[in-house]
Amino acid sequence: MKFLSRKEELVLLTIWKLSDNAYGVTIREQISKTTDKYWSIGAIYDVLDRLETKGMVSTFISGPVSERGGKAKRFYLITKKGRDMLMEMKKLEESIWSDLPQLLISKK
């Protein structure tokens, strides 16, 4: 099974977090805040498109909204496949974390 990239995982988790209010603007805001890094709209949509082709998210389009210059919003919802994927990745990470030995840090 092919895992998601770090970016994809982050975006997917953000969508989960935003539950029914996940669209371009909110996703970008949220993820910029959590990662404390600048994300461009293009970067967000690039990842969203990939998630969509992989079937991790489904989308629907709202009616036109006046404060957006009459443009529609495209909302994203996490699919079951997406959620399973996240769980799987979490499980894997936890299993690796759980039995790590005492860390020997090099002096240099």
Partner 1 sequence: MRSSIPKIGKWILSKSAYYKNKSFIIGDTIETYDYIRDNNGRLKADLWFWSEVISSIPGFIKNFFYWGAIMFYNYLKVFFRNILRYKSQSFINLVGLSLGFICFTLIAFFVTFHFSFDNFHKNKENIYRLATPSIAKIPDLWGPSLKDVYPEIKEYVRLQIFGEVLVEQADKKFYQKNGFYADSSFFRVFSFNLLKGNENTALINPFSIVISEELSEKLFGNENPIGKTLVLNLEEGKQPYNVTGLIEDTPSNSHFKYSFLVSQSSNNARWLNNWRWEQFYTYFLLQGEVYEVELEKKYSEWIDSKIDDPTFQHTIDLQKLTDIHLHSNLHREIEPNQSISTIYLFSIIAVLILIIAIINYINISSTQAINRGREVGVRKSIGAERIQLTMQFITESIMFIVVVFIISLTAVYLLIPFVNELFGITLIESFWDNKLLIGAIFLIAIFTGLLNGIYPSLLLSGAMPTRVIKGNFDLSNKVYFRKSMVIFQFSISAFLIISSMFIHDQMKFITNKSLGFNNDQVISFEIRSEAMSEKISAFKNELLANSNISNVSLTANLPGGSDWGIPIRAEGFKDEDVPDIRMLVVDHDFINNYEIEIAQGRGFDKNFATDGSSYIINETAAKAFNWDNPLNKKISIPAVNRDWGEVVGVIKDFHFHSLHEKISPLMLFIPPENWFSKVSVKVKSADIANTLAFIEDKWEKFESEHPFKYTFMDEYFSSLYDADNRSMKLVTYATIIAIIISCLGLYALISYTISIKTKEIGIRKVLGAKVADIIMLISKEFIILLIIANLIAWPVSYYFVSDWLQDYAYRIDINMLIFLLGSVSGLLIAFAVIFQKVVKASLSNPVKSLRTE
Select 68 or 83, whichever has its Cβ closest to partner 1. Answer: 68
3-class secondary-structure state, position 2:
coil
Q: Please give the Cα distance from 8 to 81 (Å, whole number).
A: 14
Told to check if 28 binds partner 1 by CB under 8 A, we report: yes
Query: Is 23 one of the binding residues for partner 1 (CB under 8 A)?
Result: yes
DSSP of 18-66: HGGG-BHHHHHHHHHHHHTS---HHHHHHHHHHHHHTTSEEEEEEEEEG
Which of 72, 84, 88, 93 is in the footprint of partner 1 by CB under 8 A? 72
- Options 7, 16, 17, 24; binder of partner 1; rule CB under 8 A: 24
Q: According to CB under 8 A, which one of 3, 46, 88, 91 is a site residue for partner 1? A: 46
The number of beta carbons lying within 10 Å of the beta carbon of residue 75 is: 20
Under the binding rule (CB under 8 A), the answer on residue 92 touching partner 1 is no
Rounded least distance, CB 60 to partner 1, Å: 11
